[in-house]
Amino acid sequence: MTDSVPVRALVQRRGDVDLAALALAHFESGVLRPRDVKTALSAGDALAEGLTAWIRRHRSRCQRLNFGFELLDHGAVCAEVQQFGWENCLDAPAYLGIVMPQESVFVIGDKADVLRATSPGLLCTAMALVREASSRTVHVRAPDDYLEMFGRWHWEYEISASDEDVREGLAERYGDEDSDVERYLPSVVRAEMAPDEFLPKYMRVDRRSGGIFRELSGKALMAVAARQRGWVRSLCLELAALKKQLARSKAQRLFGDAQWGEPAYAAASIVTIPGGYAEEVIDDHFECLSNAGDCTMYQMFVPLATTPESIRAQYADWAIAFEVMARLDRVLTLLSYPDPNQ
């Protein structure tokens, strides 16, 4: 958990890269302020200082999300992604790297029962908005992510598999008499890790459950809020505001056409209960990454725009992204508890 969003801007320069033109374009666009540059000795340093100051003006304090920023040149980004063969996809002189320094797990726990009792669609609405906000900004690992990871390792990638579909494979892996066969059946795992109301429609076992778990509109959320008090009322208001914010921008990804960084960590993880199957999955995930090393500390690398119009549009999208992330953090804070196992 962090009290604020860390911000770091660092240009790692190659000798053959000249960032003067790019820095000048960003300051002349009217977005970055020349007066924010205090100690720069080069154009790259000036761009870093100006960008850092802009981010600080737009970021909000966070209690759940944990991420930071670095400004990297073309060579530095190539060095990060060359292990995946992605360096040939990079052509911008500089990139904003979104850093994922660690991952904390948060638990919904008994708050799920409170939301179910308040309104049948409230919990699935909250999870749907968390997924949408996350997909457009910084990654939050949610029950559907854990279910996909579990299915990849135990059910041959078939997340919709039935018990009978996987029983034979589990028996071959664990032995006919091994209790793990029963323990790893989809019906058992899903009940704890990812009941239908936590999942997008395409991942649900009972496709007819959409009638029960129907997402609430902004107007419906406000109506529920009017009848509630305490954290439930606050959550409904935050969900309505987040829904409205997401509708403000047509951009599917608010950080634009970025290069994925194959991050080891997410900005946060949210699970149904402490420990259990989710803890096994995340432990296995980090062990695999530790052994293979096929990851970076960055979620993505965002190419900096180069023309006045595209620069202003890029910063406008980033400003909305920061608003969405601030609202997402408040939703996660109201929706979850810190994991006692961490």
pLDDT value at residue 133? 97
Quick one: pLDDT band at residue 207, thresholds 50, 70, 90? low
pLDDT value at residue 211? 58
Token digits of residue 93: 């002189």
Report whether pLDDT(3) > 60: no
Instruction: Render pLDDT for 118-139 as a digit per residue (tens, 0 to 9).
Output: 998 999 999 999 999 999 999 9
Distance of CA 258 to the CA centre of its chain: 14
The arithmetic mean of pLDDT across residues 84-93, rounded, is 93
Confidence (pTM): 0.91
Report whether pLDDT(9) > 50: no
Alpha helices in the chain (DSSP H): 20-28, 43-58, 74-81, 111-118, 122-136, 143-154, 163-174, 180-183, 186-193, 218-226, 230-248, 276-292, 308-335
pLDDT value at residue 158? 84
pLDDT value at residue 308? 94
Question: Higher model confidence: residue 1 or residue 232?
Answer: 232
Quick one: pLDDT band at residue 292, thresholds 50, 70, 90? confident
Instruction: Render pLDDT for 182-196 as a digit per residue (tens, 0 to 9).
Output: 889 999 999 999 999
The arithmetic mean of pLDDT across residues 75-104, rounded, is 94
CA angle 186, 188, 194 (to 5 degrees): 75
Instruction: Render pLDDT for 222-280 as a digit per residue (tens, 0 to 9).
Output: 999 999 999 999 999 999 999 999 988 877 899 998 999 999 999 999 999 999 999 99
pLDDT value at residue 40? 85
The arithmetic mean of pLDDT across residues 138-162, rounded, is 91
Report whether pLDDT(5) > 50: no
pLDDT value at residue 291? 84
pLDDT value at residue 251? 78
Report whether pLDDT(178) > 90: no
- Write b or e for each residue in 247-258: b if 16 or more Cβ atoms lie within 10 A of its Cβ, otherwise e: eebeeeebbbeb
The arithmetic mean of pLDDT across residues 274-297, rounded, is 90
Q: What is the mean pLDDT of the chain?
A: 89
**DSSP of 43-59:** HHHHHHHHHHHHHHHH-
pLDDT value at residue 23? 94
pLDDT value at residue 208? 58
pLDDT value at residue 249? 81
Instruction: Render pLDDT for 107-116 as a digit per residue (tens, 0 to 9).
Output: 999 999 999 9
Report whether pLDDT(2) > 50: no
Nearest to 282 by CA among 271, 298, 297: 271
AA letter at 8: R
Rounded distance between C-alpha atoms, residue 280 and residue 136, angstroms: 28
Quick one: pLDDT band at residue 172, thresholds 50, 70, 90? confident
